[in-house]
Structure 1
Amino acid sequence: MRSLFGVFFFICLSPLLVKSLSPSLNDDVLGLIVFKADIRDPDGKLSSWNEEDDSPCNNWVGVKCNPRSNRVSDLVLDGFGLSGKLGRGLLQLQFLRKLSLARNNLTGSISLSFAQLPDLRVLDLSENAFSGSISSDLFTQCGSLRSISLAKNKFSGLIPDSLGSCSSLASLNFSGNQFSGSLPLGVWSLSGLRSLDISDNMLEGEIPNSIEGLNNLRGISLSNNQFTGEVPDGIGNCLLLRSVDLSQNLFSGGLPRTMEKLSLCNNIILRKNGFTGEVSEWIGKMKNLETLDLSENNFTGQIPDSFGKLQSLKMLNISKNALTGSLPEAMTNCVNLLAFDISHNSLTGNLPSWIFKLGLQQVLFSDNELSGNIENAFASSLENSRKKLEIMDFSQNKLSGEIPSAVGDFSSLQFLNMARNSFIGSFPVKIGQLKSLSFLDLSENQLNSSIPSDIGFITSLNELRLEKNSFEGNIPTTIGNCAALISLSLADNELTGSIPASLAKLTSLQMVDVSFNKLTGALPKQLANLVNLQSFNISHNQLQGELPAGSFFNTISPSSLSGNPSLCGAAVNKTCQTVLPKPIVLNPNSTDATPGPITPNFARGKKILSISALIAIGAAAAIVIGVIAITVLNLRVRAAPSRSAVALTFSGGDEFSHSPSSDGASGKLVMFSGDHDFSTETHALLNKDCELGRGGFGAVYRTVLRDGRSVAIKKLTISSLVKSQEDFEREVKKLGKIRHVNLVSLEGYYWTTSLQLLIYEYISGGNLYKHLHEGSKGTNLSWNERFNVILGAAKGLSHLHQMDIIHYNLKSSNILIDALGEPKVADYGLARLLPMLDRYVLSSKIQSALGYMAPEFACKTVKITEKCDVYGFGILVLEIVTGKRPVEYMEDDVVVLSDMVRGALEEGKVEECVDNRLQGKFPVEEAIPVMKLGLICTSQVPSNRPDMAEVVNILELIRCPAESQEEGSGDSS
């Protein structure tokens, strides 16, 4: 009565169902409309359900009808995003055979009795949010049901005994709920059952021997419950079983031998139980096995030789048992094996030579007692196998010798763990080739030498652990290229030098441990930008100075800083001393010509004070007069550089030789190598006639050393912005140490407070801009020459970025060509001489680089990185290939080079952009990819641009050696 009254009440109140009183409205329309009224349809998936239709069989979404009876047979609304409760309208669908409402958000309990749907064959309510217990009469008169799935809901309580009366059931899936108690005994007698999945519940009890009645069973999964007892012999009579999953229960005892009759079985998963005894030899007779998982039990003895007969086996996991002995040689016949896990046992012997011949994807041998050298196993590896292996874990054994360089040949490796062994020697030299590696652990060995800079090539690395070895040398700055790094542990080594500032680029970094090393210097202030830091342990080093100012370092644990007595700040409860210059005080009692400290004389205090005061006043007056005089002289020098020469002398010897003149006005000159003097007889040092050019940072002049060698001298015009002498010299000396065939070398510098000169090697061939835009037809660059310039500039920039230096001012006029045609990048690193990287100041200094500047220069919220140089390089590439300037001003238009090339590429006409002066003498298969690379480098999003190291690799792949040689010979003729 209640249900009839509810339907009547709904019809009377809804103005939309006036037509429902019509005699043409069938039960299916009525039932579905009532069902729809009880649920919410946020995505409008049921908008085609129109109550004015005579039948739902034409175009109602999710509804299928029997063509003979014209009644609803299937209602399938999987993944429609429906919510609400399951209403009684469904009971009107008297001819329904399939009801599937999977993957929705339906809630509440199930109070319906599907006995009222006599034709129902399939019921699928999986992956919703139904809850509560199941009514005991839910499955009464369920003889027609073939498949029931209530998986992945929140059902609880007991599974009703009425389920055992569903005699026609072929598939039963109650997994992923909170059912408790025992499975009804009647279920174990459903002879038509093919699939039984009650995993991930809280069921208990034993498997009865009546399971032998399930002789049609293909798959059984009881995993993650609380079943106990032994596996009954009766399971061997389920001859059609393909899959058995009893994992994560409380089963005990040995495996019944009757299981060897399951010759069709593909998967046996018994993980995480209490099985005992030896691993049975008869398992080798199950020749169709593809997955065998016996892990986390109490199996003993050796791995049976019969496992070598399992030629279909793809996954073998026998980890976390008490197995002993060595790996059987017969396993070399398991040619389809992909994953092999024997970790956490007590296996002995050497690493078998056949292990890398099987084409494995995963090899996990950790925590055993394997010993000896592993060189033979790697030497026996096959090329095809090396391409497949993704996980290699040999940690916590007794392996010794050197780690073979061949480990770098496993190109697909993502996880490499060789920690806690007795490996010796250096860091594996080819590990930098493992571009897919995300986890690397070589900790707790006896490795030495330095950490190679190649580590920066592993850009996908998430975790790097090298602690407790004997690594020495500096932490490579290239580690800043490992952009995905989250955890870094280099503790307990012999590392020296400073902590590289490039660490600040690793924005995902959470944990850093460099404790117990010999690191020196101050912590880079940029580390304060690492917002994800959770731990930063620098204890027991020789670090000094103030900690970076940042939220993490303001609250860092004192234990992470201990053992560094020269650190200061609130975290170590030590005030940082402000360094002030000592006052100049003359001692009137000193007979020495040099100033000396005042010695207190209390007997003559008044006289001493008086004399000191007079001398101090006199000294101050002399200093004032001197400053005025120097200022006037500097103004003269600036006003008339063409008429004056700065008198500079110096001597060589050490790497950095200093020879300050006795005359303070002469300033300080430093040459980094050689034994040279300027020849004032040939040219004045800053003679206007010898000017080579002017740029954003200053003018460049040519002069000659006494040995006849020419140098280029840049007079900086940013004196008011230059750092202090100490900072200036420190930065210049860093630049002076940079040596690369494609970089202009800095030979020395000259310093006064008002004049700074940088001394470079002289490049005779002029700059690239003149070759591209000002040369005559006779000096046109060939394609070979252009490609070499592009590749050389890329290599130079890549080297700068490895040294953690950003160019900032890349353009064709800063690419010089030497006498051999080799390109050299000039003017790099000058922005480091400024007291701060102010974008407005910097952009005003390099405004001549219009068209080369990355868009992030205009956005204060975007960080300036090496990707700015990559953008400028991309423009440079397009300029070299097309022969056009980055921005061309036409009479009525402005043409932006990158936009022009990108548009031509989209229209399929990019070949037409190549410089006409090449007159078809260029390989299309090189020119087009080079232009595409240039466009990629000019992406508006910095993270989409490649690194310069990647650019170099791409260019070397683009180059076609044979054709290039032919073209080169043609050009020379």
Structure 2
Amino acid sequence: MNPFPATFSDRPIYLLIFFFLVFISTVRSATELQILLDFKSQLSNPPSLSSWRTDTPLCNFSGISCNSAGSVTEIQLSNQNLAGPLPIDSLCNLPSLQTLSLGSNLLSGPLKPEINNCSRLQFLDLASNNLFGSVPDLSSLGLLQDLNLSCNVFSGSFPWNSLLNLTNLVALSLGDNPTLEKSGFPEEILQLKKLSWLYLTNSSLEGEIPRSIGNLTALVNLELSHNYFIGQIPSEILKLSELRQLELWGNQLSGRIPVGFGNLTELQFFDASKNYLEGDLEEIRSLSKIVSLQLFENGLSGEIPPEFGEFKELVNFSLYGNNLTGSLPEKIGSWSEFDFIDVSDNYLTGPIPPDMCKQGKMTALLLLGNNFSGGIPPSYAECKSLNRLRVNQNSLSGRVPDGIWGLPNVEIIDLTGNGFEGPVTSDISGAGKLAELYISNNRFSGEFPKEISRVPNLNLIVAGFNEFSGEIPWTIGELNSLARLLLQENKLSGGIPDSLASCAALHEINLAGNSLTGQIPESLGFLQTLNSLNLSSNQLSGEIPVSLSALKLSLLDLSDNQLSGSVPDSLSFGAYGDGFNGNPELCSSRIHYLRRCSSASQSHSGHLKTLISCFLAGSALLLVPFGCYIFIKRRRCDQSEQDRRVKDSWDLKSFRALNFTEQEILNSIKLENLIGKGGSGNVYKVILGNGKQLAVKHVWNSGPGEGKSTSAMLRRSRKMPEFDAEVATLSSIRHVNVVQLYCSITSEDSSLLVYEYLPNGSLWDRLHTCRKMDLDWGTRYEIALGAAKGLEYLHHGCERPVIHRDVKSSNILLDEFFKPRIADFGLAKIVQANPAGKDSTHVIAGTYGYIAPEYAYTYKVTEKSDVYSFGVVLMELVTGKRPIEPEFGENKDIVFWVSSQLISKESMLNLVDSHISSEVKEYAYKVLRIALLCTAKLPALRPSMRAVVQMLEDAGPNNLIAITIKDEKGNGGFEHRMETHKQCL
């Protein structure tokens, strides 16, 4: 059909209108194309936008949808690793834009007021980025149906009033913005009658949950967890008949579960854990569609209703830390693909239900701290999916089903404190992932299986107070990861196997109260990490090996054996108490309760000593001429050094109560005690007479080779008051993650700084040197979080912020439990308060590979410079790489290397250290994303250390999934929580 009128004279007019419209459309498309290309240009290396080119129609751009007129209506770019500022002002110039989805990226900066120009928006998702500052007024977005600003670092007060205009909202997600200003529950939200999804978890809300919450009858999902709510759960919540998910965990709610709660028959996910709820569970017995029920750490009492055994959808069940009594319903967990149960720390009795792993999906059976009786049902021997089996501290008995020992995915078996009997069977060799074996305080018997050597990840064997007999298998030396071996109070015989020396990670051995014979192996002295050795109450004989003197033992107990000879002098001090008692043939010139060594007791070695003496005498005749020459050569130097020491005046300033003298420290500053060298001086290890270990840093004020010229003295007179003031400030720091400074001892030329001694060296040592260890993710995560808390304290907890200026893995020291301490404040600077807020300092500081990029052009160091350096440390922890590696390329560092892999989540997961098990790589990936935020090029885009600590805590295993890492109590949380929070990082 011809669209133009038949009249010839009218045709030019219509043609003109047609071509005008085409022209306008073309101009508009060109403008929108430029807006999108400008948006791309502001992002750093966005590989997901490779299709965004000038030679490609904009409607063919990835993530872009258009209407029939060719105008952009949707931008769908969630989870694309986009990094850079959020150019909301330009994007809002797209006239037809209805959907803007940029969630789960690395976008940063403020949310500008220009967001109100996006007046046609119906869907706005900016969640899980690093947006900060205050949220602007949103009144102009009246068409919005879905608003998601969760998981950012917004601060100040939220513009709740502007929500009154957003009457079309169906979904509102503002949770996980913990830096928002505290407020009561916003009444404005109660006017949004169409809401079906309300997510306000971790939003600094306080007061009571309003009763008018019941007016939001369309709600399907209500999440108010991790706030400061008090009072009772309002009964009006029962009006929300469509509710599928209700999360109230981590508040201060009290009282009983409301009467009639069972009328919420559509409820599938209910979590009110970590509150102060009381009363029984009767109101929940009708929730037949429940999938996940989490009520742990409350004050609930009474019995678990038998109806729970008929819940056919139940997958996750966690009620630990209450006062529940009675038994578990026999059929509980037998209907669906049951995942985990944790009812620990209650007063439950009766047998363990037999069919919770009936569908073969169960991962955790956590019943510890109750009074369950009977045995472990044989059905669990076939539960191949089981990851954690913890039934300790109950009244269980009988023989453990053989297959339990060899479950292929089990990581923890904890049967402690029951009445189990029988052997640990050889099929334990099939437990390829077993890391921790706790079976003490039972009646296990028979020989310890030699097949245990085939469990490569075994870290702990805690098997004391049983009835094991026979010899300790020599194959135990093949357990390279073994850290604790506790076999005390059994009936073991034979010798201590030499092969234990191959267990390089061992830090505790307890074989007390057995019938072991033979000598103490000399090779035990080669276990450099050994911290505790208890061999008491056996039948060991022979001399105490001198090699034990090389160990840094906090406990040594060799009492009540048949040892003989003299106690090595290096072991003869009070720290070991009565550890040598009950050995009549032992002697010592220092230990008061042992007889003194006589010449008769040493006669057996007299002949050997005579030979040695003759050899030394002959050698002396040959060396005398050479010695005289050396003596004459060095006499002047020695005399000069002696004169210098006599003349030097040392000044001791203590910052804590001291149990040592100045002279003890000075006498220990000698070559054989040197343990490290740094840019500002040497570090010595000092062992006091009471056995306490200290680290002493010797700092030369003017350089060890500089003479005492007038100019040098003047330089010192100018610098030392500043040094003293800085040390005095740092000495006031009291934080568990900052190394303790006990005192300073200063002279004219140098200063001694006396610190606590950290036996596990530095994080650098454990990641990159010959002291490298295959640290598991749990240990790495705790190091990261502890070090972050130390830096947070320096930046935010001191009267004036302290910038460390040299944060690196070699300045993070580890104690005997691998807890971190921030150390080496040689470059630290106290931030001076000034009205301009310029909290930077113009000094050359830091170590190559850790230095923030702004230093290259400003020479300024701020707290954000420490944040950058800490981000590099996080990358080291996750990847196992050094900051500078040849594989990164010339003039490239670890930050460049990691950033270049922002192609996909899979590519970033490939960066995770291969020594980190695949089951926990997801957590490592989240910490790697935090590291990327910390190492943003612009300091303003980096989070504060306070925000970093918050993000690390949120990324911890305990906050994200049911199966936690190294959780002694079995705290699970619940699995659905990962779906709610997984986008936050």
Q: How high is the TM-score relative to the length of structure 1? A: 0.51
Aligned CA distance change for structure 1 residues 349 and 54 (closer, same or farther; 3 Å): closer
Match of 1:160 in 2: 159
The alpha-carbon deviation at position 316 of structure 1 amounts to 1.8
Show structure 2 runs of 5+ residues with no match: 1-25, 574-587, 590-596, 610-769, 773-913, 915-985
Match of 2:668 in 1: none
- 1:692-738 superposed Cα distances (whole Å, 9 cap, x missing partner): xxxxxxxxxxxxxxxxxxxxxxxxxxxxxxxxxxxxxxxxxxxxxxx
Aligned CA distance change for structure 1 residues 73 and 365 (closer, same or farther; 3 Å): closer
Q: How does 1:916-935 map to 2 (within 5 A)?
A: none
Q: In the alignment, is the contact (CA less than 8 A) between 1:189 and 1:210 conserved in 2?
A: no
Match of 1:466 in 2: 463
Q: C-alpha distance in 2, partners of 1:121/1:509?
A: 60
Aligned CA distance change for structure 1 residues 57 and 536 (closer, same or farther; 3 Å): farther
SS in structure 2 at match of 1:257? coil
Aligned CA distance change for structure 1 residues 66 and 503 (closer, same or farther; 3 Å): farther
Query: Larger relative contact order (C-alpha < 8 A, sep ≥ 6)?
Result: 2
Q: How does 1:446-845 map to 2 (within 5 A)?
A: 446-521=443-518, 524=521, 537-538=534-535, 542=540, 553-559=550-556, 568=568, 570-572=570-572, 583=607
Identity of aligned residues (%): 30
- Which residue, out of 273, 276, 293, partners 2:275? 273
Q: In the alignment, is the contact (CA less than 8 A) between 1:157 and 1:181 conserved in 2?
A: no
- Which residue, out of 18, 31, 53, partners 2:35? 31
Match of 2:139 in 1: 140
Match of 2:862 in 1: none
SS in structure 1 at match of 2:495? coil
Match of 1:629 in 2: none
- 1:750-800 superposed Cα distances (whole Å, 9 cap, x missing partner): xxxxxxxxxxxxxxxxxxxxxxxxxxxxxxxxxxxxxxxxxxxxxxxxxxx
- Which residue, out of 236, 239, 242, partners 2:241? 239
SS in structure 2 at match of 1:471? strand
Q: C-alpha distance in 2, partners of 1:119/1:332?
A: 49
- 1:878-906 superposed Cα distances (whole Å, 9 cap, x missing partner): xxxxxxxxxxxxxxxxxxxxxxxxxxxxx
Q: In the alignment, is the contact (CA less than 8 A) between 1:311 and 1:336 conserved in 2?
A: no
SS in structure 1 at match of 2:198? strand
SS in structure 2 at match of 1:235? helix
Q: C-alpha distance in 2, partners of 1:164/1:535?
A: 65
Query: Are residue 204 (structure 1) and residue 203 (structure 2) matched?
Result: no
Match of 1:309 in 2: 310
Q: C-alpha distance in 2, partners of 1:207/1:149?
A: 22
Q: How does 1:85-124 map to 2 (within 5 A)?
A: 86=87, 88-124=89-125
Q: C-alpha distance in 1, partners of 2:193/2:169?
A: 9
Match of 1:843 in 2: none
Q: C-alpha distance in 1, partners of 2:608/2:214?
A: 103
TM-align CA RMSD: 3.9
- 1:437-463 superposed Cα distances (whole Å, 9 cap, x missing partner): 333211122334432213223334332
Aligned CA distance change for structure 1 residues 531 and 559 (closer, same or farther; 3 Å): closer
Match of 2:260 in 1: 258
The alpha-carbon deviation at position 512 of structure 1 amounts to 3.9
SS in structure 1 at match of 2:420? strand
SS in structure 2 at match of 1:157? coil
Q: C-alpha distance in 1, partners of 2:504/2:447?
A: 25
Aligned CA distance change for structure 1 residues 328 and 104 (closer, same or farther; 3 Å): closer
Counterpart residue identity of residue 202, structure 1: S
The alpha-carbon deviation at position 34 of structure 1 amounts to 4.5
Aligned CA distance change for structure 1 residues 90 and 532 (closer, same or farther; 3 Å): farther
Counterpart residue identity of residue 171, structure 2: S
Q: How does 1:343-354 map to 2 (within 5 A)?
A: 343-352=344-353
Q: C-alpha distance in 2, partners of 1:547/1:217?
A: 73
Aligned CA distance change for structure 1 residues 518 and 188 (closer, same or farther; 3 Å): farther
Q: C-alpha distance in 2, partners of 1:528/1:83?
A: 55
Q: In the alignment, is the contact (CA less than 8 A) between 1:474 and 1:498 conserved in 2?
A: yes
The alpha-carbon deviation at position 357 of structure 1 amounts to 5.8
SS in structure 2 at match of 1:89? helix
Q: C-alpha distance in 2, partners of 1:335/1:57?
A: 48
Aligned CA distance change for structure 1 residues 266 and 356 (closer, same or farther; 3 Å): closer
Q: How does 1:367-516 map to 2 (within 5 A)?
A: 367-371=369-373, 373-374=374-375, 378-379=377-378, 381=379, 385-405=382-402, 407-408=404-405, 412-428=409-425, 430-516=427-513
Q: C-alpha distance in 2, partners of 1:548/1:218?
A: 71
Counterpart residue identity of residue 485, structure 1: L
Match of 2:293 in 1: 292
Q: C-alpha distance in 2, partners of 1:537/1:99?
A: 65
Q: C-alpha distance in 2, partners of 1:200/1:365?
A: 30
- Which residue, out of 26, 40, 45, partners 1:42? 45
Q: C-alpha distance in 1, partners of 2:221/2:155?
A: 24
Q: C-alpha distance in 2, partners of 1:36/1:118?
A: 22
Q: C-alpha distance in 1, partners of 2:427/2:47?
A: 57
Q: C-alpha distance in 2, partners of 1:862/1:209?
A: 60
Q: C-alpha distance in 1, partners of 2:357/2:276?
A: 32
Query: Are residue 173 (structure 1) and residue 173 (structure 2) matched?
Result: yes
Moved more, 567-576 or 418-427: 567-576
Aligned CA distance change for structure 1 residues 226 and 492 (closer, same or farther; 3 Å): farther
The alpha-carbon deviation at position 382 of structure 1 amounts to 7.7
- 1:347-403 superposed Cα distances (whole Å, 9 cap, x missing partner): 2234456667675543222111223x42xx535x387x5444443222101233444
Q: In the alignment, is the contact (CA less than 8 A) between 1:24 and 1:54 conserved in 2?
A: no
Q: C-alpha distance in 2, partners of 1:46/1:289?
A: 42
Match of 1:809 in 2: none
Aligned CA distance change for structure 1 residues 101 and 428 (closer, same or farther; 3 Å): same
Aligned CA distance change for structure 1 residues 232 and 558 (closer, same or farther; 3 Å): closer
Q: C-alpha distance in 2, partners of 1:184/1:584?
A: 89
Q: C-alpha distance in 1, partners of 2:28/2:121?
A: 25
Q: In the alignment, is the contact (CA less than 8 A) between 1:469 and 1:493 conserved in 2?
A: yes
Counterpart residue identity of residue 165, structure 2: S
Larger Rg: 1
Aligned CA distance change for structure 1 residues 293 and 583 (closer, same or farther; 3 Å): closer
The alpha-carbon deviation at position 300 of structure 1 amounts to 0.9
Match of 2:9 in 1: none
Aligned CA distance change for structure 1 residues 308 and 65 (closer, same or farther; 3 Å): same
The alpha-carbon deviation at position 232 of structure 1 amounts to 1.6
Match of 2:759 in 1: none
Moved more, 533-542 or 260-269: 533-542
Aligned CA distance change for structure 1 residues 225 and 559 (closer, same or farther; 3 Å): farther
Q: C-alpha distance in 1, partners of 2:171/2:528?
A: 52
Q: C-alpha distance in 2, partners of 1:64/1:216?
A: 30
Q: C-alpha distance in 1, partners of 2:40/2:546?
A: 62
Q: In the alignment, is the contact (CA less than 8 A) between 2:71 and 2:96 conserved in 1?
A: no
Q: C-alpha distance in 1, partners of 2:608/2:397?
A: 64
